[in-house]
Structure 1
């Protein structure tokens, strides 16, 4: 395991059992001003995560001791830190598994370091984004029945209990909510929230899984949603909010 001595920007944890990948990413990300720590297996990754509290995790799927799925699942028990999965698995369902467990995005191996760096910048930018929106109360608080959404603090409560959302989940909710009644295609959502244009149809599955996760956390009946609706033939929209 290694670490930069003087953090200059966000801290990134690289988890991969291939030494060459760890070295390349550590060098490139350090040059870009990030503080980088790395681990070669899942157990070491969890130990480093608890020690350094990184701002983002780049996580390989196939690793000894504990695979990336297990690491992702464990981290999501207590943290909403952004996670980008690295996967060489060819089956689409294998890629989707990481997203269903709480990953924010995934990159296929072999990958371009520039592409991964762009994904990292995009995820961190969205997670840190704090903005104001037209048509939203000055308080930034939106009440939808038993759901309270605080756009300023990026928090959601249901029945007065905090609903744990990842940064990307909240950014997706924020996009749909602040333009309620407007339908968005999956490609538009991917571009606006994740910051890249889909090259393959499967890329938009990132959006579908995040929508499913949001519905599971917010809807009373996720299979028959009242808030986050499917726009037939288009994508998704948030129900139009009635004016008080």
Structure 2
């Protein structure tokens, strides 16, 4: 099957140039000048990678990135004319995998596309198992079948309990999992007041391994008096 690439860029000359170089590599290209067109392609085609411009006339690239990450794990490369750190952080936080600033060399973009496709294929995020068994949130990839976890492409060494906690939080991304429900799902036992201390210890160990400090967490966030949630 040919590799299908979504290119979203409102500057037609740039979009055409990207399309030309990608087609020279025998990729199938879906070229869109607006966010609305891109959403239609995302919903109708089985894509392998997306290249998104941030500044678009209707829906910005960040919103499209969020839309993709609601349902799909394929790589996303963000394009922008701004050389601002905040844009890079925003894109990566929303789930983008790479970032390139315009003006760029077409061959550099092609190299980054190929690198992302290799990484994605390596982890088999959508080819071997159903999507619900592999969750990707930003740079975090959690595989329920193999009990493997990667953060920014580096493996995390987690205990079975730590993995189970992380999995429960990931499959409820953006939602608060209260401490009682978390305890029941992970330990399969009745929740008591001191059970929360057990959860807190494991959450602390998880954060240490993920380099995710409690004072300013990127992934695991505490909702005081309720429980925990993971978002990115």
Structure 1: distance between partners of 2:107 and 2:130: 32
Structure 1: distance between partners of 2:100 and 2:129: 26
2:136 aligns to what SS in structure 1? coil
User: CA-to-partner distance for each residue in 1:65-107, whole Å, 9 max, x for gaps?
Assistant: 1010111111111111211000112321122101111111110
User: CA-to-partner distance for each residue in 1:92-150, whole Å, 9 max, x for gaps?
Assistant: 1122101111111110111111111000000000100159xxxxxxxxxxxxxxxxxx9
Q: How many residues matched? A: 166
2:154 pairs with one of 144, 153, 176: 176
Q: 1:175 to 1:25 in 2, by over 3 A?
A: closer
Structure 1: distance between partners of 2:95 and 2:28: 24
User: CA-to-partner distance for each residue in 1:153-196, whole Å, 9 max, x for gaps?
Assistant: 5789xxxx856216964384495337x59xxxxxxxxxxxxxxx
Matched, 1:29 2:7: no
Matched, 1:74 2:67: yes
Q: Which residue of 1 aligns with 2:79?
A: 86
Q: Which residue of 2 aligns with 1:12?
A: 5
Structure 2: distance between partners of 1:167 and 1:100: 6
Matched, 1:165 2:162: no
Q: 1:166 to 1:64 in 2, by over 3 A?
A: same
2:119 aligns to what SS in structure 1? helix
Q: Which residue of 2 aligns with 1:225?
A: 207
1:113 pairs with one of 89, 103, 106: 106
In structure 2, stretches of 5+ residues that fail to align are: 142-148, 159-166, 172-199, 213-232
Q: 1:155 to 1:53 in 2, by over 3 A?
A: closer
Structure 2: distance between partners of 1:102 and 1:130: 16
1:164 aligns to what SS in structure 2? strand
TM-score scaled by structure 1?
0.58
In structure 1, stretches of 5+ residues that fail to align are: 1-7, 132-149, 182-213, 231-244
Q: 1:36 to 1:96 in 2, by over 3 A?
A: same
Contact 1:61 1:69 in 2 (8 A): yes
Q: 1:174 to 1:12 in 2, by over 3 A?
A: same
Q: Which residue of 2 aligns with 1:98?
A: 91
User: CA-to-partner distance for each residue in 1:210-235, whole Å, 9 max, x for gaps?
Assistant: xxxx9x849974897143248xxxxx
Contact 1:86 1:108 in 2 (8 A): yes
Name segments (4+ residues, structure 1) moved above 6 Å.
none
Please state how far the C-alpha of 1:54 moved relative to its aligned partner. Answer: 1.3
